[in-house]
């Protein structure tokens, strides 16, 4: 036979409160979620910027030797560039812009590569400013 215990009349049975446990669990969840969110947000701030800058430098290097005709202002020794050269120059410009957008540290590199690309696309290899951009971009690339 099974016995059932029934509290006596007038005697209250109280279970221990779970409120502190629930509050602790909620607080732990909120704090943990906040820390994870903060770490996730901070990890994405510069994600890929260095790689984009390095890839931009590699694309610029693959453009090849950029002619320097500053000594003969009227001479543009290269009339047409191969399509792959123009594509690599575009890739270098876009990758450097992506790096600069992710991290301002790479803004000078992006500006110099943009200057090089303007010179290359216009075929004005006698542009002193453009040649200066070439030298500065190559120097910044060696520092990556």
Residue 101 is predicted with a pLDDT of 92
Residue with the two structure tokens 């446990």 = 21
Q: Is 100 domain-assigned?
A: yes
Question: 82-95 burial, b for 16+ CB within 10 Å, e for fewer?
Answer: eeebeebbebbbbb
Q: Is 90 domain-assigned?
A: yes
Q: From CA 38, how far away is CA 22, in angstroms rounded?
A: 24
Q: Is 23 domain-assigned?
A: no
Nearest to 85 by CA among 125, 45, 139, 50: 125
Residue 100 is predicted with a pLDDT of 94
Domain that holds residue 132: 48-63+79-143
Q: Is 25 domain-assigned?
A: no
Q: From CA 60, how far away is CA 29, in angstroms rounded?
A: 48
Q: What is the pLDDT of residues 21-56, one digit of tens each?
A: 878 877 777 787 777 777 666 665 566 889 999 999
- Which tokens is 104 given? 């301002």
Nearest to 103 by CA among 45, 142, 57, 144: 45
* 45 SS3 class: coil
pTM, to two decimals = 0.65
The sign of the CA dihedral 90, 138, 54, 60 is positive
Residue 17 is predicted with a pLDDT of 77
CB 102 within 8 A of CB 51: no
Q: Is 24 domain-assigned?
A: no
CB 110 within 8 A of CB 99: yes
Q: Is 95 domain-assigned?
A: yes
Q: Is 68 domain-assigned?
A: no
CB 56 within 8 A of CB 30: no
CB 92 within 8 A of CB 113: yes
Q: How many domains does the chain have?
A: 1
Residue 15 is predicted with a pLDDT of 73
Q: Is 1 domain-assigned?
A: no
């Amino acid at each position: 036979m099974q016995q059932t215990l029934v509290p006596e009349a007038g005697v209250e049975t109280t279970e221990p409160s779970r409120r502190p446990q629930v509050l602790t669990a909620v607080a732990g969840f909120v704090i943990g979620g906040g820390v994870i969110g903060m770490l996730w947000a901070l990890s994405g701030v510069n994600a890929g910027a260095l790689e984009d800058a390095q890839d931009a430098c590699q694309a610029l290097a693959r453009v090849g030797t950029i002619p320097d005709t500053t000594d003969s202002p009227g001479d543009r020794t290269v009339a047409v560039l191969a399509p792959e050269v123009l594509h690599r120059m575009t890739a270098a410009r876009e990758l450097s812009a992506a790096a600069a957008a992710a991290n301002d540290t790479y803004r000078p590199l992006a500006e110099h590569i943009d200057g090089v690309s303007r010179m290359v696309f216009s075929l004005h290899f006698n542009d002193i400013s453009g040649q200066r951009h070439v030298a500065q971009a190559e120097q910044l690339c060696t520092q990556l």
